[in-house]
A and B are shown apart, each in its own frame.
Chain A
């Protein structure tokens, strides 16, 4: 088997935020101190070596970057300040760009300018569309969003967005899965893929492995952000478009964002509150952490890390404002805020989910699933 060496790999990785990996002198302390590193998948030093040696193909097929949840133990205890934890984070950005066949992700991660322009353009397009396409007779006496943007139209837009987004995310995820499985992909019997599927679900929902890190606080914050966002996506994609009038699946009593104000105990309202609180808590904790550099995972912040947290927090804050404007029955304020809200939330959704940080909600559980399939298969072969 030939191994291709790319001497410029370190330079390439620097564009993704790599800083100190060249300081590594390969003592192995990081790998032996990591609570998640196993004899089957020892990391992170292995990846430091791949980076230094220019082994791009090895990185591409490595599951380890996704087995790491970045507790920071390795970086805290690194005798050389080589910051292996951050190197793993860089690997995740790099892999995200390699999985993405459109090339958009690479641009998004390596150029701050591109990142800002892309988000601004999508935001402006959303604003423009909302300005151009709105209902004939907006209710200026009462705050009723559906009179400005009828539920049916929003649902169609929502569905189109979901379809595009899913297409890119799934095609990229398929590449992620293929790279990780390598030659074994076709060899593993289908049955094994089916029986191990529960791994995907468990890791997706609980990030169980994160709980094995020494600093469990990070797991809690991560779970808050993840469950908050997934709840929001569920409300927006399932319950908003779930009122699917078009295919006759409407179930009005639990549709999201209708002009009726649900009672306080209503499940949709409770779900909204949960998502708001969880996201607000998680993003605030992480933002303060990154500003004050409280722990290893917060010490190095890539522009995409800031963008992610800021967009997420702004989405939540504008959402809260809309909620109060509606309750206070301020029509114009509600409508303007809604435009601003979507100008932030939509770019976040369509750019971050398939091409950037949010994509790891698929990549991580998929790789964990692939790794467990592989391990099971190799175990059976023995």
Chain B
């Protein structure tokens, strides 16, 4: 017989998929627990400037979901938390969760006085390291929960006391230590999402060697008002406006030497980003280098619309090399136009690498017996009863599919509990 204790559902990952799964299950009457590694909910979606194909910011969608979380007592979430261990079986899992110290308690009002008092700067991971931020920080403007975080480097420094004293609400607790917590749940949804493929492995593209070679996720941050350039798309080498932006599709994707699969979103993402450039710089030239444009179902229309823009050129050919030009100012892309069998060297002053998605479970696997597919995603064919991969843990995909997948995973989790 099922006990009330094992009616709960654990959702690992508080991104779009995880939030959706937790909310859908909670709204169907189940207690759910979201475990999120970051200090905020929203995952990669929070880092996006716009969605495709509607070209609207994802923050309103996130806001709606955060409100649903706030209003539903059945949903509990833990940020800066990681699942350390899962034991037991379907209907009766014992889960150990590690809660990392935030050094800031719930008294925080996000007033920002701690950051003002802090002089130590660290790399901003939310902006993919494109800028520095204070070691006492709010992860981003719309962070939920809206609560500051103190970096360990600050807590260990001489400045810690000064920062603590700057807080008018006594919200800083320098003694906070990692804690573990045990949970009993009936089913688990695993939705820890994805990471961009490491562009520095693409030797011929010179990422990290040439500052004007960036990745698509960096472009999202640059276009975002809360990003490192306050929404201005600029060439990192000189902070000037780009005149010719190149998008390199399949940067490491559909490539045996890197990711053998297609992530299915990078074509759309690049076309979307082309519209960012277009909006900011009406005269800029944009070239999208592709092997095949993958835009399925209604997204085909988005492709056709972008294609109408005469400043956006679609160039069929995989870029083989990116080198600096002779003056050392711009970049030259070596590529064959495969429709004409002609070899080209095309100049650009900002290059965006459309890198694909890799499951985060590669670095942090599910701490339980779970099967993965050939590419490292949680297997859909060979499922461990009671543990369901969802969203980009299961398949590389876009936000709207993630939402659907989160809902589907909630149903699977509910079925798993209900049939006992």
Question: Would B343 and A31 count as touching, CB distance under 8 A?
Answer: yes
Q: Are B341 and A42 in contact (CB under 8 A)?
A: yes
Cross-chain contact A77 with B256 (CB below 8 angstroms): no
Query: Quick check: B257 and A42 within 8 Å, CB to CB?
Result: no
In A91-107, the 8 Å CB interface with B consists of none
Q: A27-B291, A79-B254, A79-B255 are contacts. A38–B318 as well, Cβ < 8 Å?
A: no
CA distance A318 to B40 in the complex (A): 76
| Residue A26, interface by CB 8 Å | yes
Q: How large is the interface on A (under 10, 10 to 19, 20 to 34, 35 or more residues)?
A: 20 to 34
Per-residue A-contact encoding for B252-275, CB less than 8 Å = 1, 0 else: 001111100000000000000000
Which residues in A have their C-beta under 8 angstroms from that of B257? 76-77, 79
B392 within 8 A of A: no
B256 touches A42 (CB 8 A): no
Would you call B343 and A42 a contact (CB within 8 A)?
yes
CA distance A78 to B258 in the complex (A): 11
> Which A residues are in CB contact (< 8 Å) with B319?
32
Decide yes or no whether B204 CB sits under 8 A from chain A: yes
Q: Is the CB of A28 within 8 A of B256?
A: no
B331 nearest CB across to chain A (Å) = 14
Residues of A within 8 A of B316 (CB): 28
Which of B257, B291, B319, B343 has the most A CB atoms < 10 Å from its CB? B343
Query: Chain B nearest CB: distance from A82 CB in Å?
Result: 10
Interchain Cβ contacts within 8 Å, total number: 65
Q: In this assembly, does B294 line the interface, its C-beta being within 8 Å of a C-beta of chain A? A: no
Are A28 and B254 interface neighbours, CB within 8 A? no
Q: Contacts of B318 on A, CB cut-off 8 Å?
A: 27-29, 32, 79
Contacting B256 at CB < 8 Å: which of A30, A32, A45, A81? Answer: A81
| Structural contact, A28 and B204, CB atoms closer than 8 A | no
Docked CA distance A28–B343 (Å): 9
CB–CB A79/B336 < 8 A: no
Closest chain B CB from A55 CB (angstroms)? 12
| Interface contact A39-B342, CB-CB below 8 Å | yes
Neighbouring A residues of B342 by C-beta, 8 Å: 39, 42
* Contact partners of A26 in chain B: CB under 8 A: 338
Does B334 touch A at the CB level, under 8 Å?
yes
Contact A32 B343 (CB under 8 A): yes
Instruction: Tell me the bound Cα distance from A31 to B204 in angstroms.
Output: 14
Query: Quick one: which of B254, B291, B336 contacts A45, CB cutoff 8 A?
Result: B336
B317 at the binding interface (Cβ < 8 Å): yes
Nearest to A30 among chain B residues (CB) is B320
A201 interface contact, C-beta 8 A:
no
B337 at the A interface (CB under 8 A)? yes
Given A37-B343, A42-B341, A42-B343, CB of A31 within 8 Å of CB of B254? no
Contacts of B336 in A (CB 8 A): 28-29, 31-32, 42, 45
Taking a contact as CB atoms closer than 8 A, the residue among A25, A39, A77 that contacts B343 in the complex is A39
Q: Which residue of B lies closest to A27 (CB)?
A: B318
A79-B254, A79-B257 known; A27 and B343 CB under 8 Å? no
Q: Does any Cβ of B come within 8 Å of A374's Cβ?
A: no
- Give Cα distance in the complex from A37 to B298, angstroms: 40
A33-B204, A45-B338 given; A27·B256 CB < 8 A: no
By CB atoms of chain A within 10 A, which of B256, B318, B335, B342 has the most? B318
A213 CB to closest chain B CB (Å) equals 15
Cα distance A38–B341 in the bound complex, in angstroms: 11
| B301: A residues at CB distance < 8 A | none
Chain B residues within 8 Å of A25, by CB: 254, 291
B364 close to chain A: CB less than 8 A? no
Report the bound CA distance from A217 to B337 in whole Å.
31
In the complex, are the beta carbons of A46 and B341 less than 8 A apart?
Answer: yes
Q: Is B171 an interface residue (CB 8 A)?
A: no
* Max count, chain B CB within 10 A of own CB: residue among A33, A38, A45, A46: A33
**A38/B204 in contact, CB under 8 A:** no
Contact B338 A27 (CB under 8 A): yes
Taking the closest CB of chain B, its distance from the CB of A34, in whole angstroms, is 8
> Which A residues, 67 to 93, have Cβ-Cβ distances below 8 Å to chain B?
76-81
23 A-B pairs within 8 Å (CB atoms) are namely: A26-B338, A27-B291, A27-B318, A28-B318, A28-B336, A28-B337, A28-B338, A32-B317, A32-B318, A32-B320, A32-B334, A32-B343, A33-B204, A38-B343, A39-B344, A42-B336, A42-B342, A45-B338, A45-B341, A76-B257, A77-B204, A77-B320, A78-B256
Beyond A33-B321, A42-B342, A45-B338, 19 additional contacts (C-beta under 8 Å) are: A27-B317, A28-B316, A28-B336, A28-B337, A29-B318, A30-B320, A31-B320, A32-B318, A32-B334, A33-B204, A39-B344, A42-B336, A42-B341, A42-B343, A45-B336, A49-B341, A76-B257, A77-B204, A79-B250
User: Which 9 residue pairs are nearest across A and B when measured between Cβ atoms?
Assistant: A28-B336, A32-B320, A79-B255, A27-B318, A33-B320, A28-B317, A31-B336, A28-B338, A42-B343
